[in-house]
Amino acid sequence: MAFLILLVEILKTVFMGIIEGITEWLPVSSTGHLILAQEFIKLDTFKNNPAFEELFNVVIQLGAILAVVVLFFDKLNPFSRKKNTAQRKDTWSLWLKVIVAVIPAAVIGLLLDDWFEEKFYNFISVSIALIAYGILFIIVERINKRRKMQYNTVYDIDMKTAFKIGCFQVLSLVPGTSRSGSTILGASVIKVSREAAAEFSFFLAIPVMVGASLFKGLKYFVNVGMPSATELLVLYVGTLASFLVSLLVIKFLMSFVKKHSFESFGWYRIILGAILVLYYVRAK
């Protein structure tokens, strides 16, 4: 019986990891999807330790981040022997831009993390964010049809533009906004091409999510202590599932943006936000 209970828990965890792996990279809000999923898929691990749920939702993102490192390793590696001096310089410059872009969200996140969690981690806030940014995606994409993009690759992005994209990423501290959604939308507003915006968003996620996971992990260790063996297993399985699915989703998105706009994701966000509102009202 204990084995069957553990097996069911693992299967639930795999499903959560799949949701994270899909929604982390698409501009549709992984938080919104996890909130909705967790209403129907109750992990016993969360019931026994509510603080672990918060840790889980952040740490499984590490699997998604690892997928970026694997897929873009050559592009991100400044020590690659395949690169000449100029290419290595461009890679170091790219990393510097990523670090500059991380600063706004890192500062605000460290100062106001608990406040954002307390005020905005709920059905209504997530629903409003989903719908509002869905509308913005549609508007921006339609405007961009008549505009010429100024930055067509991640290497074209300068320091000032990188910092502006980082400021847009601060918006993702509100659950339901979507980290990738806020950075891609912000980049699109300042004339960064879809492909460059998506790719820079991927790279920006590496220090952001690693930092967030370390911060949440340390916070959990200080306030609760070491996770149990079952909790560690749940974290491992969820992270692995997130990694494997992310490999496929990142490839899909990079192929998708070459031929299509993000407008369809805007409509999807609006529909999901409406579903969350209806569910919340019905639950009340």
pTM of the predicted model, to two decimals? 0.83
> By percentage, how much of the chain surpasses pLDDT 90?
36
Query: What is the spatial distance between Cα 273 and Cα 125, in angstroms, rounded to a whole number?
Result: 10
Residue length, the chain? 284
CA 80, CA 61: separation in Å to the nearest integer? 26
Contact assessment for residue 206 and residue 98, using Cβ atoms and an 8 Å cutoff: yes
- For residue 1, the model assigns a pLDDT of 61
Phi, psi of 192 (to 5 degrees): -100, 135
Question: Chain-centre distance of CA 187, in angstroms?
Answer: 16
Measuring CA to CA, which residue among 265, 239, 199, 256 is closest to residue 64? 239
Q: What is the pLDDT of residue 71?
A: 92
Neighbouring C-beta atoms of residue 19, cutoff 10 Å = 22
Chain position carrying tokens 């010429």: 148
Q: How many CB atoms lie within 10 A of CB 14?
A: 17
Q: Can you give the pLDDT of all 284 residues of the chain as single tens digits?
A: 666 777 888 888 899 899 988 988 888 888 778 777 777 777 777 777 777 877 887 888 888 889 999 999 999 999 988 899 999 999 999 999 999 999 998 888 777 777 777 777 777 888 888 999 999 999 999 998 888 889 999 999 999 999 999 999 888 888 778 888 899 999 999 999 989 999 999 999 888 888 877 877 788 888 877 888 888 888 899 999 999 999 999 999 888 888 888 899 999 999 988 888 887 777 76
Distance CA 67, CA 10 (A): 21
Residues sharing a CB contact under 8 Å with residue 175, sequence separation 6 or more, in sequence order: 29, 31, 32, 35, 116, 120, 121, 125, 126, 129
Residue 247 has a CB neighbour count (10 Å cut-off) of: 17
